[in-house]
Amino acid sequence: MGSHIDKERKICDGRVTIYQRTDVQKATWHCRIAFPRQPHIRQSLLTTNEKEAERMAEKLYRDLLYRYERGLPLKRIKFEEVAAAYFL
C-alpha cells in the first residue's frame, strides 16, 4: 500500500501535520494531530488554500489542547452513547 500524501508540513512544534492527499479528486488539506498517550486525531480541513489550512489546523490544535489539558475527551461523544453507558 503506497502513501497518498503530498506537500506534508509540520506546525505547532511538530504536533500537527498538514498535508494534501493525492488519492482524491479535489486536493483539499488535511491535518493529523498528536497528543501523548492518545490516538492521532485526523481531520479534513475542507480547503485547498494552504495558508487557510494552516490557520484552521492551528485553531483545531488549540481547541483540542484545551480539552486535553483538562482531561476531557478529545473526540466528541454522542448523547446516545453517554445515555446508554449511564443507564446500563
pLDDT value at residue 1: 42
Instruction: Please say if the pLDDT value at position 87 is more than 70.
Output: yes
- For residue 27, the model assigns a pLDDT of 84
Q: Are 29 and 45 in contact (CB under 8 A)?
A: yes
23-72 pLDDT tens trace: 777 889 999 999 999 999 999 999 999 999 999 999 999 999 999 999 98
Distance CA 1, CA 25 (A): 19
Rg (CA), the chain: 15
Which of 66, 44, 67, 65 is CA-nearest to residue 56? 44
Maximum Cα–Cα distance across the chain: 47
Sign of CA dihedral 45, 49, 52, 58: positive
Q: Residue 40, exposed/middle/buried by CB under 10 A (0-12, 13-18, 19+)?
A: exposed
Amino acid at 14: G
Q: For the whole prediction, is pTM greater than 0.75?
A: yes
